[in-house]
Amino acid sequence: MALASPTGPGDEQIGAAEAARDAAVQRLTELSTRLAEAQAQVDAANAAATISLDAFQGEQAEYQTAQVTAQSAAAAERAADAALTVARAELAAFARASYIQGTTAPGLQAMLDMKDPAQIIERATLLAAAGGHRADVLLDLARVQRLAVAAEEAAHAAVTRANILRQQAADALTAAEGMQAAAHQRTAALESDRTVMQDQLQQALDALSELEGAPAAGQDYTRQQAAAQAAVQVADGSVVEGDLPPVGAGSTAAAATALDAALSAVGLRYAWGGGSLTGPSLGFGIDAGVTGFDCSGLTRYAYAQAGISIPRNSTAQYQASPRVSRADLRLGDLVFWAVDVTDPATIHHVALYLGNGRIVEAPQSGATVHVTSMYWSGYIGAVRPSA
């Protein structure tokens, strides 16, 4: 018996398959877009938190400097008070001696209780017109009294400024911790959504592979995504650096020492706000209790081992040393990333350049100090620290 010839799908079946294919491609694109947008929001939240932390570190550095100034002013005030006590004692002794000898003027005795330097000087000037040792004693008291008042005012001003900066630093820390908590929540939400969306993506891909023309549609989609990603990378990497002034070679030995110090920290945990001149330290906020480095803490520590002092926060580090063009990057240069590559105020990350397209960095909470490939998305520039 002859077998019946197979029949192909009808127009209606082909139309349904094409519609299903188009719907799957659209769903795939929508899910990919949602994932990209969610990741961008997380990245933006993390950058904002890091910038806020940078601001706190700058405020904290100013406060610490003001605190030292206040302590010095307080010491000067104590010394001035001690000198005033001695001067008053000398005046009292002179008055007693004059009284015993019967030469004390009523005006001299009245000077013992005077508090206003201007009044003392005025009275002493009058006495000076009459001549004698008593004018010298009174003028010396007036000078010491004037210094004591000035020291008291300077100490008060220094303490006031230190207190203001301390409050500003505390406010900046509170803001930074709030932003970091928000970034952490966004990250957790993304990880939760990512699993669901990845499953949906896979379902869409599976459905697409079963439909007529799926290979071609999948290739088209892949090409479109690759082209879009390439365009983003080109846009992010095409930073116009302008004409930078020539930069010296710096110290090769210092750069090598800084890199050795940074590489010795590989494997240590990232700690938000962590890192001192002598090594890792406790972080705070989301990383309270974690000992390690944040990005600028690592770079500052590394160069401190080479005897080169750089600021604590990444924005200040960028501003403190000569700029280096991308073509002139060398071992040990500090490389920076920003939200807006035209605005250094939006810098949120710094690392040390290892050469051959590699960097060593303290990346983010939950990670460790590591060596990785240099990336250009968000790159704003580089500097070369020197003594």
Residue numbers annotated as active site: 295, 349, 361
Query: What span, in angstroms and rounded, lies between the C-alpha atoms of 369 and 298?
Result: 9
For 300, counting Cβ atoms within 10 Å of its Cβ (0-12 exposed, 13-18 middle, 19+ buried), the class is buried
* CA distances (Å), origin 247, targets 47, 99, 111, 325, 330: 29, 75, 65, 9, 11
For 374, counting Cβ atoms within 10 Å of its Cβ (0-12 exposed, 13-18 middle, 19+ buried), the class is middle
Laid out side by side, the sheet with 323-324 consists of 323-324, 379-383, 334-338, 347-355, 358-361, 370-373
Tokens of 244: 């930078």
3-state secondary structure of 184: helix
Give Cβ neighbours of residue 74 (< 8 Å, ≥ 6 apart).
155, 158, 159
E strands in the chain = 281-282, 291-292, 323-324, 334-338, 347-355, 358-361, 370-373, 379-383
Tokens of 103: 């030469």
Strand partners, 268: none
CB-based contact 247:31 (threshold 8 Å):
no
